[in-house]
A and B are shown apart, each in its own frame.
Chain A
């Protein structure tokens, strides 16, 4: 899924797509997407919001105040119904923002790409006697309501994902109508909608008129009090023990159902005229303190993990841990530490010290952005390595190009550009566990295999360190832009000599900052965020002007360090890279990852201020890490050493295991985040 969204971004960027082009590609996304809608408007045009609303996709622009609602089919394929609503509803926007924030806080383990959360009632999955309004949150009855045969239900847009662990929604009774036969509950897909929840197999409900619970049966059991106009009824599904309880006005009524099947949808049913209920899937604070309930279960699950019995044999556990730690240290070339650790724990190191030191040297170069030197050193120390591995070499070169733009690569630095200290002040040691970024690392096969998420995490404050190496603020950045007026002219001149269409297009676009670019930029943002369900709320702002105050403290950042010669060298290098790419394609066939990588790198030139552009994350020092890690793994592989340390593998396995639990309906995965255990 992530890969496909990425493709979309590429296409959007490459074709300078218009809105229609964007929406054409949207069907690829059957996922809900999220971007915080908080931008400040330095940019001439900025999209301030993008979120999924019902089955439609909502797109909001701050500049035009136009909301574009693209209605899509449930899952994929279908054509798009587009309607333009003038005057964006800011209150609605606020509500969506709140909804998204609350859902992410409540269900951080849910990957909405795979399993979107219910956000409203489905206009498609309801009986005809049901009317929906107010953003598909309000349900009213519009049938005759004469007999139970006139009962009608509606399901939410999506089933409850198991990775919620504990799921909760509330329904407020706006009016009990004629007889107050409201039923609130859950049902599986396909259950007859001409019924109240609870009457059929795989359907469960709590009814207002008698307070009974209906467990897949036409006859109810005495359960709780009756409910009527003004009451707020909550329904909580515990996906760990597969039970359900209801709440009335914030008070838990006790377990109603046990042994619930998976993939149930929130459901309400009405039966007599005048009955109206409003759902709250997280749009507003809940009356019941569901977070307190979740805390209890989090504690329970964590206690279970803590108490899990480990091997009985004396010392076995300890020596295994020691081995893992030692191999980790060696892998990441912490020579001295590895030596000391091995000595004190009485272990053998399986790699020569010199070899470790070599790797350390190369890693230091990569991490400080001196890619040219890094490539050279690798070629010296490990001849044939890059030759046999053209994709790796290509990756390194692309990174070198990025570092050139950054002004950090050795080749442009020696051309007299400013030496931006702030950028190469990267600590000598790699930080492969600097979660949460490692989740998205391409070099670690247990992960999703995309690189583009880095920009999100670059400013997260809560990094975890395995060995306490403090990550220095390598990514502190100011507001940078092309300051010299003649530079653009210069680039313009250069374009004459450039023959490669892709590279040229970016150079051109850097001069004509046209509207369509914004769409690409936007797509980019969407993709980044959608691929990752657990971003924290501030992450998207990394490229936003919240760094303004830094600006005054730092000198303005300039393309390639501001040197004319360096820019020429960069452009030349870009051309080389382009031809290398073509060569590679001829030799080895198409490689979409490579293509994507190159486009991303080149698109830096499409912006007047690459650092503050949507693709500016690439310039972040933290992006050197996956490159560094991939190179390191490749070197280790040639020595027949594991390309991943067992420790990282264990972490990866744990993460993979959680993902699998989510897919197979084990709700406890919600409360066992791997990050919680990486201190």
Chain B
């Protein structure tokens, strides 16, 4: 390549001169000469990127487009123009950009209205090349609403139109809106017969179409399961395409189709086409004998397929040594490739990140439910080290996948107690939390929640690393997921915590923020905040201490929640907080002096929901507990308010817990 660089300046003027000649000939008054000029240009640009770039710079594109659109041009000339443009599009991404800037897309789409099949095919071929480039905005396909129906109608014309159009569709279907547009224009009915086309290319592109159409799309997926192709159910056609003698690309894409249909609930996860065909096919794709790209796609698709289903996870975990097979994903670039083959090294490097993130994703999915599988994963060679180093990789994708994997494994009590602690995973995790995009933060903070569980040995060192501040800041995030995780982690942290920690949480979070969270639109946030309050308000000294400093606001918040429209769970949690407050020494008074609150308690004792009755009765029981100072006055007051009658009634409750609780409370009066 060095040689080339040296040579280039000397050659360039010459090339430019010939290029100019080609362009000049496009302006010849004699149409025959123009045609010959275009044909010569076609032959000159094939495989010659330099020539292509030159012609574009010299303005060949607008002229070619003009000739292509001119109805006075001969069909032959118009076709040759489309061919040359298609050839130019085959060059670099810059070429494509220039072509798109010259409005090649509307011009070619216009060309499709012609009645000449050869011309249409040339236009489609060029369009295909333009649209499959990542630099082309796919939206351009949908600007004119007549385009999609027209493309659908062209599908029947020839094998070539079928191949190009389906390829355009599969590359330009990127959003649910695109899926809907294609679906509404009969994509399924029009493309399904192509799955049994005699041309492999057509079959393959049609299959790709279905995979992008079905992805996370229930409507499409539900329709697909009922489609018949030549009397055979589409799912069976896909199953046949997964046969082991089919090309890998076809097996993989068919497996994707079935995976997407399954995830969209169109196929049950225990259907044999999933359990005995799709899953094994995807596991096979992860094996060493396949291309790195195929292994990445196979692992990602498999992770997606079994994410929600523990049975599939169990089967996959024992299929073809999958767990061990994935360990190989971390061995790129291999030491061998570095020395022997630069090309291979380059290839490996390019895919190394992709491989690692795919493996992490698949491990995460495998281990999301089953304890035995998690154990198997953590026992894989160097697994925890790999996760730890994955957490600090430069690639966000790898970091995210690594933290997902860690999160999945963190659901195991055993792993939290052992490998997580041994490898100090909390350190890179904390580092990751400092400055990361939201999606990483969500996963990392979820994992942190688990690491802060009371039995986790990592809890202490995490506390010492200043995590409270970090979590409090998460509760202020715009993302509900982050707010939940932040408050959840705080809740876990406050569970049976020292006074010092609790005070620190309240101080750091601030009552204002605490009450803001109590009115959070997200129920999860509210629930976890109540949980935090409940954990803070446990053991008598803590209750009195917190209530003495924040009693007023807390009582206000409790009142608000009990008065507002909330789910049973929220109200139960709130009544539990109230019961905890009633357990304090001095804190009791905050309830006893609040008649309104007492009325509320009374109301919930008579509520139709047993859980709420139970929580309210707890509260009363704590208020009238005998051994405490002033219990007599409180008992008297509550009797006056009619609580005793209600307690008597509750002893008759059919719920044994409730009647027991009521009896225990009534005994306080007898003593």
Contacts and interface: CB of A to CB of B under 8 A. Distances in A.
B318 A224 contact: yes
B319 A252 contact: yes
Given A252-B280, A254-B321, A289-B276, A296 B315 contact: no
Given A251-B280, A252-B280, A225 B243 contact: no
A559 B661 CA distance: 107
A253 interface: yes
Contacts of B30: none
Nearest to A249: B315
Interface string B235-256: 0000000011100000000000
A289 B244 CA distance: 10
Interface string B420-437: 000000000000000000
B12 interface: no
Contacts of A225: 318
Contacts of A292: 243-244
Given A251-B280, A251-B315, A289-B276, A295 B244 contact: yes
B320 interface: yes
Interface in A245-260: 245, 248, 250-255
A72 B243 CA distance: 42
B245 A253 contact: no
Interface in A277-313: 289, 292-293, 295-296, 298-299
Contacts of B280: 251-252
A251 B319 contact: yes
Interface in A346-404: none
A254 B244 contact: no
B243 A295 contact: yes
Contacts of B244: 292-293, 295-296, 299
A225 B244 CA distance: 25
A250 B243 CA distance: 15
Contacts of A298: 245
Interface string B311-351: 00001001111000100000000000000000000000000
A252 B320 contact: yes
A295 B320 contact: no
| A245, A250, A251: residue with the most chain B Cβ atoms closer than 10 Å | A251
B243 A254 contact: no
Contacts of B320: 245, 252-254
Given A292-B244, A296-B245, A298-B245, A253 B276 contact: no
Nearest to A253: B318
| A245, A248, A252, A298: residue with the most chain B Cβ atoms closer than 10 Å | A252
Contacts of B277: 289
Contacts of B319: 251-254
Helix, strand, loop or mixed for chain A's interface?
mixed
Interface string A223-248: 01100000000000000000001001
Interface in B439-488: none
Interface string A157-198: 000000000000000000000000000000000000000000
Contacts of A253: 318-321
A246 to B, nearest CB: 10
Interface size class on chain A is 10 to 19
Nearest to A256: B321
A179 to B, nearest CB: 21
Contact of A299 (B245, B315, B318, B321): B245
B318 A248 contact: yes
A587 to B, nearest CB: 58
A295 B315 contact: no
A225 B280 CA distance: 16
B554 to A, nearest CB: 53
A663 B277 CA distance: 35
A289 B242 CA distance: 12
| A245, A254, A255, A289: residue with the most chain B Cβ atoms closer than 10 Å | A254
B321 A250 contact: no
B560 to A, nearest CB: 54
Nearest to B283: A252
A250 B318 CA distance: 12
A241 B277 CA distance: 24
Contacts of A245: 320
Contacts of A250: 276
A406 B649 CA distance: 109
A251 B321 CA distance: 11
A49 B280 CA distance: 40
Contacts of B245: 295-296, 298-299
A298 B246 CA distance: 11
Contacts of A299: 244-245
Nearest to B272: A250
Nearest to B277: A289
Nearest to B247: A299
Contacts of A224: 318
A248 B318 CA distance: 9
A293 B320 CA distance: 13
A245 B280 CA distance: 14
Interface in A203-236: 224-225
Nearest to A225: B318
A588 B645 CA distance: 127
Interface string A26-67: 000000000000000000000000000000000000000000
A293 B281 CA distance: 11
Contacts of A252: 280, 319-320
Interface in B274-323: 276-277, 280, 315, 318-321
Interface in B156-187: none
Nearest to A252: B320
A224 B280 CA distance: 16
Contacts of B243: 292, 295
Interface string B112-138: 000000000000000000000000000
Contacts of A255: 321
A292 B320 CA distance: 16
B376 to A, nearest CB: 10
A250 B272 CA distance: 10
A226 to B, nearest CB: 10
A245 B319 CA distance: 11
Nearest to A288: B276
A398 B417 CA distance: 91
A299 B245 CA distance: 6
Nearest to B287: A254
B314 to A, nearest CB: 9
Interface string B218-234: 00000000000000000
| B244, B277, B319, B321: residue with the most chain A Cβ atoms closer than 10 Å | B244
Nearest to B372: A225
Contacts of A293: 244
A251 B319 CA distance: 6
A225 B277 CA distance: 20
Contacts of A296: 244-245
Interface in A294-343: 295-296, 298-299
A293 to B, nearest CB: 6
B378 to A, nearest CB: 15
A331 B320 CA distance: 54
A245 B245 CA distance: 19
Nearest to A248: B318
Interface string B636-658: 00000000000000000000000
A292 B318 CA distance: 20
A254 B244 CA distance: 16
A296 B246 CA distance: 8
Interface of A: 224-225, 245, 248, 250-255, 289, 292-293, 295-296, 298-299
Leading 7 A-B pairs by shortest Cβ distance: A296-B244, A254-B321, A295-B245, A254-B320, A299-B245, A225-B318, A292-B244
7 contacts: A250-B276, A252-B280, A253-B319, A254-B320, A293-B244, A295-B245, A296-B244
Given A253-B318, A253-B320, 16 more contacts: A245-B320, A248-B318, A250-B276, A251-B280, A253-B319, A254-B319, A254-B320, A254-B321, A255-B321, A292-B243, A292-B244, A293-B244, A296-B244, A296-B245, A298-B245, A299-B245
